[in-house]
Amino acid sequence: MSRKRKELPILENIEITDVAAEGNALAKVDGMVVFIPYGAPGDIADIKLLKKKKSYAEGRIAQLCRPSSVRVEPRCSHFGVCGGCKWQHLPYELQLKCKQQQVVDALTRIAKIELPPIYNIIGSDNIWCYRNKMEYTFSNKKWLTFEQLASGEDFPDRDAAGFHIPGAFDKVLDIDKCYLQDHLGDEIRLFIKNYAKTNGFSFFDLKNQNGLLRTLMIRITSTGETMVVLSFGEDSPAEISSVLTAIKDKFPFITSLMYVINTKPNDTISDLDIKTFYGKPYIEEQMEGLTFRIGPKSFYQTNSNQAYKLYSTVREFAGLKGDELVYDLYTGTGTIANFVAKRCKKVIGIEYVADAIEDAKINSQVNGIENTLFYAGDMKNVLTDDFVEKNGRPDVIIVDPPRAGMHTDVVDVILNASPERIVYVSCNPATQARDLALLDTKYKVESIQPVDMFPHTAHVENVVSLTLK
């Protein structure tokens, strides 16, 4: 018989003093750090402890005794449940200050190398409706809030179209309105949900792995093009055609209407055949006169306006004069490679995902760019000393790795290649700091520029330029 877990106490009248990593707020109680979501510096609250370790604890606000003066009213009715935006209750100026500090803390505490002053973070002009891509899940197990459960009311209709609840893989929060994408995204999602319910089409059951409507991806570019990709959990041609035809008739301006049959245990569609029902198999985004084709599997920065600021910073930090050989590692669909190509002699891009490399080549062709060369494969296997010897020693290396940072083998090859300059783009300042410490044997950090790509979240991008010592 298992032992009953001991009920943790409620800590009364605790002052929340700061904002910590992962978007949580922070309080200190008798020398112990307590992490609390949705708190604000200056809050006085009763904190219900949920987990307690030797050096820290995790809790939630059981009662807000005295709200902080810095708090603002969240715009979204789903705030606090959805989990997508953790900082809507904080003014944007404070969000930027917290992200700036996140970069400072990571680079000083983890890298522990000589650093120049860090530039002030580049904020986002749009803090609402800034995302060009949103993904939703259909489920027959709608998440019920604590208030709904406590009401004693019966909820026979559990169909939902929205976001996964953090920590509950089979529960989905039904979304009325999301403020992160253009309102058109809400219109499309709600139309599909209501059409399916009206016609008795089933929503996916994540536990039993059955049901027609499974996932939905909506991409809206700054040029006004729209892509809708609907994933079906069952191969039912008549029902699928009915749904897609209804979408086409209701939203005839959709540029690309696509669908995929996914009967796998997971929601990923990158390994599946995505079919075009109506329109083109891609949409186009534009940046500084360049056109980028975006397919259903393509990666493109989800904040188009901020992406331009980010890539402009990268290009500036690269210090290109026109005669350089540039390596663009983790090139994705070649956005950075094509963006800097006109300022250098040649760009060589490397990316793990083969489909992304094909997109990168297409983007070069569409823009008439002839000085790019792309390779697909695992970075640590492609980027070797032999590769550098064959393709030439780079003058500049641009790296934009995933959150885990760079493999040590990749760092070693970069050090051996010894380019004059490295530009390191990161969505995770902690792993970036770790890698900067490894590069410190031969490189000096010259410039640091944080960029906010995702208002109301704790995520921050950071660009660092390094020069050969």
Active site residues: 427
Tally of CA atoms within 13 A in the half-sphere of 300 that contains its CB: 29
Q: Which residues pair with 100 in a beta bridge?
A: none
Q: How wide is the angle at C-alpha 118 spanned by C-alphas 113 and 121, nearest 5°? A: 140
Quote the pLDDT of residue 1.
Answer: 43
How far, in Å, CA of 306 to CA of 463, rounded? Answer: 13
29 phi, psi to nearest 5 deg: -130, 115
CA-based nearest residue to 273, from 173, 202, 339, 355? 355
CA dihedral of residues 269, 272, 278, 281 (deg, nearest 10): 90
Q: Cβ contacts of residue 445 below 8 Å, gap of 6+?
A: 113, 114, 115, 116, 436, 464, 465, 466
CA-based nearest residue to 350, from 293, 400, 415, 286? 400
Reported as a single tens digit per residue, the pLDDT across 194-210 is: 999 999 999 999 889 99
3-state secondary structure of 214: strand
Q: Are 175 and 82 in contact (CB under 8 A)?
A: yes
Q: Which residues of 201-228 are buried (b: 16+ CB within 10 A; e: fewer)?
A: bbbbebeeeebbbbbbbbbbbeeebbbb
How far, in Å, CA of 179 to CA of 75, rounded? Answer: 8
The pLDDT averaged over each successive group of 10 residues in the chain (469 residues) is 69 95 90 94 96 91 97 95 93 97 96 97 97 97 81 84 84 94 97 98 94 98 96 98 98 98 95 97 96 93 96 98 97 96 98 92 97 95 94 97 95 96 98 98 98 97 98
**Which amino acid, one-letter code, is at 149?**
L
Q: Cβ contacts of residue 343 below 8 Å, gap of 6+?
A: 315, 318, 320, 321, 322
Quote the pLDDT of residue 169.
Answer: 73
CA-based nearest residue to 303, from 186, 164, 457? 457
Q: Cβ contacts of residue 442 below 8 Å, gap of 6+?
A: 415, 418, 468, 469
Q: Strand locations in 132-187, DSSP E?
A: 133-139, 160-165, 168-174
Using CA atoms, how far residue 253 sits from 217, 226, 248, 280, 388, in Å, is: 16, 8, 8, 12, 47
Q: Are 71 and 27 in contact (CB under 8 A)?
A: no
The residue whose two tokens read 């290109």 is 320
3-state secondary structure of 307: helix
How far, in Å, CA of 292 to CA of 25, rounded? Answer: 39
CA-based nearest residue to 460, from 428, 436, 434? 428
